[in-house]
Structure 1
């Protein structure tokens, strides 16, 4: 059984990738360019991939391929329709980030709500000495208690964020993506959430219904100048609209751990915002605590072993 991991470098070097408990040959590639995919998987039985794209053409070039083990939750980089047509099992990772992503989400919320990054930069610039007293008040500081937290997405991560929010005294509103209806009385309509929330955080997948679901019109409807937090997927927000929303005061701050292109090129709209005190960009690391990454690696091998022994788990299929 030949196993090929196309982008091992997407996991920390400290993460232990245990050896599957059946006879196999494992080939690790630190990273794989799009032009290298077909060649590298041509004789593989199992392909392990995190972010490398596997197109229908790549899959067709791998006649022995029987399983794709995705080292992540998202599956938009794999052509699931082509896999289903070939009977190729696709398994993903689930629930491994239920602590790390919510904690990172609140790290970003606290950093913006209390202007942590802005004050750090002011101290670096010598502002404390210039103030000539024990403190200074150049940037806003606000408590979280009694604020309203709008959460788009009610899965494991959204629910974990809600639990932390309630413990901190926030009022929590769950909503679905724009245009989604019939969710029941426990959910707030999308447009109402935009008007009521002091903080909006995204925990939903990227698909045709959610792409650019927050853009100029939605920013203009945000009556309480909320913080906007995205630790989910790049592309959920119209990224070119974030800077104008900050300029217009529609939002009081924004923090993103994801971008539609990663890494973002120099002309990406976010790169022009990095000097602003109310904007934070982290490099897609909300998921990457040591504990979460090791859990991911362990589940990855569990998925592979389950497939080998005829009991595949976490199997993904194309959306209907």
Structure 2
């Protein structure tokens, strides 16, 4: 492994994944810096070839690119999820990888409940009906074309017990909801604070996902789970595309197995026009937002500040938020 350079070359592969209003402070050590608005997968290897430090949000660093950058010592991921980096290759090379922690503790839960409120009270459907002139057609002070349900007294099933899942539970409890933390799918015996996965699927009025995407969670909600949903719940996913089998979701909405869904993530971002969720986008009981649950101005600035803190901690010899393979 090469020694630290006196004037290391830093490469930021996808600056445009942070909003233009976000301030990135100057790093407190001499360095050269190359900032790219975005980087396609086939451009990564060339752009990081001479870098000691690489910053990336969604630009992937695969094994070939990592081994093709002999000076590379540190990768700062500008997100919590690190699945875009080949961590095993980094471990073999002795490259340190860091991520961002706990920056979205307000923005993601708030977006989650924005989707829940909008769907539970049919806000989008009523707004579009008003635009179409339905209120005038009704010839009275209101109309009842779409269902409206209270949250108080309903059951909120939460998949994922990290800081975001716990924050969602706190909001739900403040609204008078019964909250259930699910066990991991296929596991038992996690203790009295957890409800079996299948029971959460069966008994929840709203199911919200706050877990990482990994082999054990890939398509964890699919045809089997939708068939078990006795209460026609809302399904909310502000976590990762791939946690829900998307064709199965489309079938569940078409068949009425669920009452609605709010998704901020898909398996392919941006999704092609013929993606299953794009085909659902005009439905009154489905809301698709463009992976912005994390993106409040406050959260992005917190992320940016922590990102530079991580780089500076590495250069000072005390790396933090390190991610293991």
- Give the TM-score category using the shorter length: over 0.9
- The alignment status of 1:76 with 2:83, answered yes or no, reads yes
Gaps in structure 1 of 5+ consecutive residues:
none
Question: Deviation at 1:250?
Answer: 1.2
Query: For 2:184 and 2:138, how far apart are their aligned partners in 1?
Result: 46
Query: For 1:158 and 1:180, how far apart are their aligned partners in 2?
Result: 19
- The alignment status of 1:211 with 2:218, answered yes or no, reads yes
- The alignment status of 1:117 with 2:146, answered yes or no, reads no
Query: For 1:183 and 1:13, how far apart are their aligned partners in 2?
Result: 43
- The alignment status of 1:221 with 2:237, answered yes or no, reads no
Identify the range of structure 1 (286-295 vs 264-273) with the bigger mean alpha-carbon deviation. Answer: 264-273
Query: For 1:272 and 1:216, how far apart are their aligned partners in 2?
Result: 19
Question: Deviation at 1:180?
Answer: 2.4
- The alignment status of 1:312 with 2:303, answered yes or no, reads no
Q: Report the RMSD for the aligned CA atoms in angstroms.
A: 0.6
Query: For 1:258 and 1:196, how far apart are their aligned partners in 2?
Result: 24
For residues 102-113 of structure 1, the aligned pairs below 5 Å read 102-113=109-120
**Map of 2:67 onto structure 1:** 60
**Map of 1:136 onto structure 2:** 143
**Map of 2:201 onto structure 1:** 194
- The alignment status of 1:303 with 2:325, answered yes or no, reads no
The TM-score, its normalising length taken from structure 1, stands at: 0.99
Query: For 1:9 and 1:176, how far apart are their aligned partners in 2?
Result: 37
| CA deviation profile, 1:283-316 (whole Å, cap 9, x unmatched) | 0000000000000000000000000000000000
**Map of 1:90 onto structure 2:** 97
- The partner residue of 1:40 within 41, 47, 59 is 47
- The alignment status of 1:156 with 2:163, answered yes or no, reads yes
Query: For 2:78 and 2:201, how far apart are their aligned partners in 1?
Result: 34
- The alignment status of 1:31 with 2:38, answered yes or no, reads yes
C-alpha contact (below 8 Å) 1:177/1:213 kept by paired residues: no
| CA deviation profile, 1:234-278 (whole Å, cap 9, x unmatched) | 000000111210122211000100000000111110111111100
- The alignment status of 1:256 with 2:263, answered yes or no, reads yes
The TM-score, its normalising length taken from structure 2, stands at: 0.97
SS of corresponding position for 2:194: coil
**Map of 1:275 onto structure 2:** 282
C-alpha contact (below 8 Å) 1:3/1:47 kept by paired residues: yes
Across the two proteins, how many residue pairs are aligned to each other? 318
For residues 226-241 of structure 1, the aligned pairs below 5 Å read 226-241=233-248
| CA deviation profile, 1:159-208 (whole Å, cap 9, x unmatched) | 00000000000000001331122211110000011111000000000000
| CA deviation profile, 1:194-231 (whole Å, cap 9, x unmatched) | 11100000000000000000001100101011000000
SS of corresponding position for 1:133: coil
Query: After TM superposition, which residue ranges in structure 1, 4 or more long, deviate above 4 angstroms?
Result: none
For residues 171-182 of structure 1, the aligned pairs below 5 Å read 171-182=178-189
Query: For 1:220 and 1:297, how far apart are their aligned partners in 2?
Result: 42
